[in-house]
Amino acid sequence: MALALGGGGERDVCPNVRGLVRLKKGASMVEQAAWLSIFALVLGAARDAAAADEVSAEVVGLAEGDRRVIEAARVHLIVSMADCPPTHRDAAALDYLDSALRQGDERDRWHSAVT
């Protein structure tokens, strides 16, 4: 399953991104759909140069109180940049995720993880 990320003159799908959506059953502690929707959102927002505060708020909302979802999207974004030179879009997407984590921390938006 390939993830189509769209985007002007920059690469649309880094080779590593294709493998990111293949998870073994039970291999992830967070919902695949949740981190994947956040991952796609920040890449699209970075492509469109969206306002950071709006994107961060949307990311926090999509996480539904689970900080791990944003952390998973962040890790996958970093991994997707491992084999491809990072672009301005990648850096902006990472900034959106970091801002969302800070915003959630500052506003105490996270619920305790269930173990």
For every residue of the chain, DSSP letters joined together read: -------SSS-S--HHHHHHT---TT--SS-HHHHHHHHHHHHHHHHHT--HHHHHHHHHHHHTT-HHHHHHHHHHHHHHTSSS---HHHHHHHHHHHHHHHHHHHTT-PPPPP-
Mean pLDDT (whole number) for 18-22: 43
Cα pseudo-dihedral 33, 115, 63, 12, rounded to 10:
-40
- Of the pLDDT bands very low, low, confident and very high (cuts 50, 70, 90), residue 70 is very high
* pLDDT score, position 112: 66
Q: Which of 29-33, 59-63, 72-76, 77-81 has the lowest mean pLDDT?
A: 29-33
* pLDDT score, position 85: 86
Interatomic CA distance for residues 73 and 46, integer angstroms: 14
Interatomic CA distance for residues 29 and 68, integer angstroms: 8
- Of the pLDDT bands very low, low, confident and very high (cuts 50, 70, 90), residue 71 is very high
55 to each of 42, 49, 60, 95, how far by Cα in Å? 7, 10, 9, 10
* pLDDT score, position 19: 45
